[in-house]
Each structure stands twice: as C-alpha cells, then as structure tokens.
Amino acid sequence: MGNLFCCVQVDQSTVAIKERFGKYEEVLEPGCHCLPWFLGSQLAGYLTLRVQQLDVRCETKTKDNVFVNVVASIQYRALANKASDAFYKLSNTKSQIQAYVFDVIRASVPKLNVDDVFEQKNEIARAVEDELEKAMSAYGYEIVQTLIVDIEPDEHVKRAMNEINAGNHAVFLFIVPPKTIPYRQAIVDGLRDSVLGFSVNVPGTTAKDVMDMVLVTQYFDTMKEIGAASKSSAVFIPHGPGAVRDVASQIRDGLLQASLNG
C-alpha cells in the first residue's frame, strides 16, 4: 500500500538502500520516506544495524598433535556511515567472517601445545579480532567483540587426560592412612590398571618394579612438600619403611587378583 502512494517506512535500527533505475542513490534512515516509483526510484533492500552474533566451530591440531575443536563467538554489526559497502560488497557476510576465523585459528593453534591453547585462549581471540577488524572494515562492518567460548579436545584425548590426572592424585593419596580415604579401593584398582599397562608396554619391566618406583618417588616427594610448607594444616603420615610396604602389599594383592580373574 505504501508503494502505491510512493511512501516507504524504515524501522528503527535499520536502514534502506534506495536505487534509481538500478543504480545506488542513497541510504534511507529510519522513518517515512517518499519513493516515487514512476521516476525510477525503488528499494534495493534493508540492512540491519543491530549487533549480530556468529558462532564458528573450527577443528585444528596443536603442536603436540592433539586435535581440538575451537569454538569462537563473533559479535559484529554494519556501520551506518558505510551501509552501501555493507550491502553491495558482500553477498554472504557470515561465510566471509567464518573464512577469516578459520584462517587465524588454524595459523595460531598449531604453534601451541594443547595445555597452552587453554591458557592463551584470550590471545587467540585477540588475534582473530584484529584480523577480522582489518578485513571487515573494508566491507562496512565493525567487529564488536570476539570470544573463544570453548576448546574441546578429541574425546579419546580428553579421556586420557582425565585418567592421567586421576592417576596422579591416586598415587599421592595412597600414602595417607586408610581411614581418611573413603574410596581407597577404587584408587587401588585404578593404579593397578595403570601399572599393568605400563609394565606390558615396556619390555623387561615388571608390574612390581613400576609400582615400587612410583610409590617410593611419591612417598619422598610428599614428605618434602609437607616439610617445606610454612602454613598448612598438620597431616600425619607414617614415615617408616612400613608405610610404603603396606601400600605396596595392598597393590600386589590387587594385581594378583587381576591375574586370577584374567
């Protein structure tokens, strides 16, 4: 109906692109405008000035050969004073932004180990934002903010990292008296599996050798840390040779049981 009376309405936070006989003429601000179609004037389309968000998931490999999925969240908007560039220069804004994000992430992450990727995610986000700002300003867009919202290692790597962390804590807790550990048997089982796996992969090494080495090393490391702590709660740990022997005996029982069950 508006076109019939040569009037068009442009909503708030939006601009319209006016053409005359197919050639760009001007940008129409929010409000009511006269558009004499019989003189060749027409609307080419509308352009929103609101902040938009694009989530980009990029798979890449770290320096230590770990595959990770990096999820970046890009917030951007068209500039009112460059509306014609934003409307005419890009046919698919999201695909263009995604291509630049892929390029920067796949150039940055392979230079870092997987642990460093987590620690330096802000630096990665800044690198992505700087590159996007330089590239997209030429097309009439402003990059408001760039965030690395998630870093997901491959599922097998994630499981392995969790098992390593659990194993490290398990060895430490073994030195503490049994009454202070509600889940002592679960820890024994976990360490037993780790010892068995290690001894199989290293020829000439028995499970007993690995177990004794780990226990003795952790025993003295723990005693050293407790002695060096200036302000900490008192923790009483058996300090005689029997402390390690008792733990070793319990693990050997677990290993023997595993052999019988296998």
> Is 143 found in the same domain as 176?
no
State whether residue 5 is helix, strand or coil.
coil
pLDDT tens track for 182-241: 445 555 555 566 655 655 555 666 666 666 666 666 666 666 666 665 555 555 555 555
pLDDT of residue 1: 43
Instruction: Decide which of 153, 171, 199 is a domain's last residue.
Output: 153
Q: Does 116 lie in the same domain as 39?
A: no
- For residues 42 and 64, state if they share a domain: no
pLDDT of residue 183: 46
SS3 22: coil
Look-up of token digits 């068009």: 8
Tell me the C-alpha distance between 168 and 18, whole Å. Answer: 67
If we measure between CA atoms, which residue out of 10, 9, 27 comes closest to residue 80? 27
Q: Is residue 132 part of a domain?
A: yes
Which pairs with CB-CB distance under 8 Å and at least 24 residues apart come from 239-244? 243/175, 243/219, 244/175, 244/215, 244/216, 244/219
Query: Is 231 within the bounds of a domain?
Result: yes
Q: Is residue 171 domain-shared with residue 256, that is, in the same domain?
A: yes
For residue 104 the two structure tokens come to 């920067």
Q: What is the pLDDT of residues 249-261, one digit of tens each?
A: 665 565 556 555 5
Examine the domain organization and report whether 57 and 146 are in the same domain: yes
- Are 74 and 21 within one domain? no
Q: Across the strands, what pairs with 75?
A: 53, 145
**Does residue 222 share a domain with residue 179?**
yes
Q: Is residue 248 part of a domain?
A: yes
The answer for residues whose C-beta is within 8 angstroms of residue 114's C-beta and 6 or more apart is 62, 64, 66, 68, 153, 157
Identify whether residues 185 and 143 lie together within a single domain: no
Which pLDDT does position 12 carry in this prediction? 92
User: Across residues 48-75, what is the average pLDDT?
Assistant: 93
Which residue, of 111, 134, 153, is where some domain finishes? 153
Give me the residue label for tokens 């889940």: 183
Residue 2 is assigned to a structural domain of this protein = no
Same domain, 177 and 222: yes
Claim to verify: residue 41 and residue 123 sit in the same structural domain: no
Which residue, of 153, 174, 204, is where some domain finishes?
153
Write the pLDDT tens digit of every residue in 32-51.
Answer: 888 888 888 889 999 999 99
Whether residue 128 is found in the same domain as residue 189: no
- What is the distance between the alpha carbons of residues 58 and 66, in angstroms, rounded to a whole number? 14
pLDDT tens figures, 152-167: 887 776 676 666 555 5
* Residue 22 confidence (pLDDT): 87
**Residue 57 domain-assigned (yes or no):** yes
In the sheet that 14-20 helps form, which strands lie side by side, from edge to edge?
23-28, 14-20, 41-48
Long-range CB contact pairs, 239-245, < 8 A, 24+: 243/175, 243/219, 244/175, 244/215, 244/216, 244/219
Give the CA angle between residues 28, 29, 30 to the nearest 5°: 125
What is the Cα–Cα distance from 170 to 191, expressed in whole angstroms?
7
Residues spanned by the domain of 15: 7-48
Quote the number of domains for the chain: 3
Band of pLDDT at residue 8, cut at 50, 70 and 90: confident
User: What is residue 26's three-state secondary structure?
Assistant: strand
Q: What does the alpha-carbon distance between residue 127 and residue 123 come to, in Å, rounded to a whole number?
A: 6
CATH number at residue 76: 3.30.479.30
Q: Is residue 143 part of a domain?
A: yes
Q: How far apart are CA 3 and CA 13, in angstroms?
A: 21
Question: Helix (H, G, I), strand (E, B), or coil: what is residue 10?
Answer: strand
Q: Are residues 34 and 62 in the same domain?
A: no
